Chains A and B, each alone.
Chain A
Amino acid sequence: MARVREFQYLEATSVEEACAWLREYGGAKVFAGGLALTILMKQHLFEPTCLINIKTIPGLDRIDYDAATGLRIGPLARHQWIAESATIAAHYPILAEAAGHVASLPIRRMGTVGGSLSHADPATDMAAALIAAGARLHLRSSDGERTLPIEEFFLDAHETQLQPDELLTGISVAAELAGRSGAHEKLRKNATDIPIVAVSVTVALQDGVLREARIGLAAAAPTPMRCPAAEALLRGAAPTAASIAAAAAQAAREARPISDLRASADYRRKMVRVLARRALRRAVAAAGLPIPE
Chain B
Amino acid sequence: MLISLTLRVNGASETLDAPANELLIDLLRGRLNLTGTKEACEVGECGSCTVLLDGAAVRSCLLFAFDAAGKEITTIEGLAVDGRLHPLQEAFMELGAVQCGFCIPGMILAAKALLDVQPRPTLAEIKQHLAGNLCRCTGYAKIVAAVQHAARRLAAATRPEAGAAAP
Contact = CB atoms under 8 A, between A and B. Distances in A.
B19 interface: yes
Contacts, number: 77
A6 B61 CA distance: 17
- Greatest chain B CB density within 10 A among A8, A35, A107 is at A107
A49 to B, nearest CB: 11
A5 interface: yes
Given A34-B63, A192-B45, A106 B50 contact: yes
A9 B23 contact: no
Given A9-B3, A110-B58, A110-B62, A51 B132 contact: no
Contacts of B3: 9
Contact of B42 (A2, A42, A192): A42
Contact of A6 (B20, B26, B58): B20
A104 B132 contact: yes
Nearest to A191: B131
B44 A35 contact: yes
A38 B64 contact: yes
Contacts of B57: 105-106, 109
Contacts of A191: 131
Nearest to B131: A191
A103 interface: yes
Contact of A103 (B50, B58, B132): B132
Interface residues of B, number: 28
A4 interface: yes
Nearest to B21: A4
Nearest to A11: B66
B105 interface: no
A7 B131 contact: no
Contacts of B44: 35, 39, 103, 107
B63 to A, nearest CB: 7
A106 B66 contact: no
Nearest to B26: A3
Contacts of B56: 106, 109
Interface of B: 1, 3, 19-21, 23, 26, 42-45, 47, 50, 56-59, 61-64, 66-67, 110, 128-129, 131-132
Given A9-B1, A105-B128, 14 more contacts: A3-B23, A4-B23, A7-B21, A9-B20, A34-B67, A35-B59, A38-B64, A39-B62, A42-B42, A43-B43, A55-B67, A105-B132, A109-B58, A110-B59
12 contacts: A6-B1, A6-B21, A9-B20, A39-B62, A103-B132, A104-B47, A105-B132, A106-B58, A106-B132, A109-B57, A110-B59, A191-B131
